[in-house]
Amino acid sequence: MLTNRHATAPPGTGAPRQAPRSFGAVIGAYIALTKPRIIELLLITTLPVMFLASQGLPDWRLALSVMLFGTLSAGSANVLNCYVDRDIDVKMRRTRRRPLARHQVEPRNALVFGIVLGILSTVGLWLTTNWLAAAMSTGAILFYVFVYSLWLKRRTKQNIVWGGIAGCMPVMIGWAGITGELAWAPFVLFGVVFFWTPPHTWTLAMRYKDDYAAANVPMLPVVATERRVVLESIAYTWATVACSLLLWPVAGTTLFYPIVAAVLGAVCLWEVYRLLGRLNAGKSGVDLRPMRFFHWSNAYLALLFLAVAIDPLLA
């Protein structure tokens, strides 16, 4: 099923063919396929959970293994996503500079690269941590590729709502890597990332709405009014903040965590309501400034999980 996509860009839609000319350029192209900036965001949610699971500093060997093989796991999912999406990446300004869209890497080579990364991550986690972390890592890859990339993304406006589950898995993997089991605390943090993902992604999609429309990807901003997108973003942001505060009684944190979570949540809600205010003032499109909320949501998640890591050290 993966091999039926075409790599050749329609005339006038993609970036010019630019094959890498040096070893360094080749390496850079393969690294770019893994989407390092997305991996950074996933690791931001993984490491703090290991502090929480350990109730202090985690065993450095386990932490290193989870971070290393977790990086390979996320890289595998991202490479395979690039392989699946190579036909639409050439149509979108935001993605047309990716290696497959620019023909810097052959599709077959990217497919093999993604599979190899996935195998290495699974085997590595199994040998250095435990079977539960390895199984969840493999499940996250398969979910992201087959459920989100191949099924949901091009078929439903709910694509990122359910497809975002794959991005929630690092918190589960981090906890399981340390403890070998699961508890309510990682499920709460799973919920935080789950509710955080739609408004984060939708505000980006508002900025690149024309791209998604050209690629026939039914992201919510493409198929719904701006008011509906903003109102749903508000609802999901409230759910994110509420879920973040739930960690306090569930994990038995100190007062440090809920105070930080409440402050960060208040700022996040302020920013999403500013979107509604600009909409009510007659603003639309770029004038809504959706990227302001997008960038703040990145900071929100990073700072919230930093508080997750610091709290057990204070306790």
Domain boundaries, the chain: 31-180, 183-315
Asked if the model's pLDDT at residue 148 lies above 60, the reply is: yes
Average pLDDT over residues 83-93: 94
What average pLDDT does range 219-247 have in this prediction? 97
The answer to whether residues 177 and 66 touch, using CB atoms and an 8 Å cutoff, is yes
In the prediction, which pLDDT does 287 show?
Answer: 87
CATH of the domain spanning 31-180, picked from 1.10.357.140, 3.30.110.30, 3.60.10.10, 3.40.50.11540: 1.10.357.140
Q: Answer yes or no: is pLDDT of 1 > 90.
A: no
At 12 the pLDDT is: 42
Whether pLDDT at 174 is above 60? yes
Residue 158: pLDDT band with limits 50, 70, 90: very high
CATH number of this structure's domain 183-315 = 1.20.120.1780
Q: What number is the average pLDDT over the span 13-28?
A: 68
